[in-house]
Amino acid sequence: MQINQNNYFQITQQLQEKKVVLVAVSKTKPVEAIKELYDLGHRDFGENYVQELVEKAGLLPKDIRWHFIGHLQSNKVKQIVPFIYLIHGIDSLKLLQEVNKQAGRFNRVLRVLLQVHIAEEETKFGFDKKELHAVFSAGALQSLNHVEVAGLMGMASFTDDMARIRKEFQVLKSLFERYRLPPDVPYQLQVLSMGMSSDYHIALEKGTTMVRIGSLLFGERSKTA
């Protein structure tokens, strides 16, 4: 047994009441562990690294919905476009345009989330408020026929300060509400991807619609991963 079944059942029960989607983050974990969760009926899995994702996807059932949640480099987009279900970490217009271009080659309309920088740390990727506004207002999305901006994603600061995390999630939630149902635009935000093992409780409280949970299900990862 490579997964924590108790945690899985407990978490899915909590999420079910609020219709929140669980993305099981399986990065660095073996395909056997993913298969265990799959056999319990789980279908949404998240990975951070293109190479690892492509290898695992080749070995696992085709009805898995693969979420790419890492930092995506433009030159690797084409490797995941044929099969990816949702890309969470779009952090620049340039990357969005590349995804649009590659999706066009495969005749797909790909669902993506825009990553918003809400944490204190400089190291986390994403649009800031101003940049996000520019993307939504400048008609930048109109010409991108092969991507569907389906929502926003964010990561809170790595801290024990719950008040700080709560505040950062609130910022993201407010942005989500603000751009959610604007008139006459070619997108409709439905997905708010926020919350991980350590802070998904707070994300639930703040109205998340999708959480990305790894270590509570698969155990801790080694520090380098």
Ligand X SMILES: *Cc1c(COP(=O)(O)O)cnc(C)c1O
Q: Which residues bind ligand X (CB under 6 A)?
A: 25, 27, 48, 69, 155, 196-198, 212-215
**Shorter beta-carbon distance to ligand X: residue 27 or 42:** 27
Among all residues, whose Cβ is closest to ligand X? 214
Task: Measure the CA–CA gap between 146 and 144, rounded to whole angstroms.
Answer: 6
- For residue 32, the minimal CB distance to ligand X (Å) is 18
**Shorter beta-carbon distance to ligand X: residue 80 or 155:** 155
**Shorter beta-carbon distance to ligand X: residue 158 or 185:** 158
- For residue 69, the minimal CB distance to ligand X (Å) is 4
- For residue 105, the minimal CB distance to ligand X (Å) is 27
**Shorter beta-carbon distance to ligand X: residue 110 or 155:** 155
**Shorter beta-carbon distance to ligand X: residue 74 or 198:** 198
**Shorter beta-carbon distance to ligand X: residue 177 or 220:** 220
CA angle 87, 2, 60 (to 5 degrees): 45
- For residue 42, the minimal CB distance to ligand X (Å) is 15
**Shorter beta-carbon distance to ligand X: residue 37 or 196:** 196
- For residue 195, the minimal CB distance to ligand X (Å) is 8
Helix 162-180 / helix 129-137 crossing angle, nearest 10 deg: 10
- For residue 209, the minimal CB distance to ligand X (Å) is 15
The DSSP code sequence of the chain is --S-HHHHHHHHHHHHHTTPEEEEE-TTS-HHHHHHHHHTT--EEEES-HHHHHHHHHHS-TT-EEEE-SPPPGGGHHHHTTT-SEEEEE-SHHHHHHHHHHHHHTT--EEEEEEE--SS-TTS--B-HHHHHHHHHSSTTTT-TTEEEEEEEE---SSS-HHHHHHHHHHHHHHHHHHHS-TT-S----EEE---TTTHHHHHHTT-SEEEE-HHHH-PPPTT-
- For residue 154, the minimal CB distance to ligand X (Å) is 9
| Distance in angstroms between the alpha carbons of the first and the last residue of the chain | 21
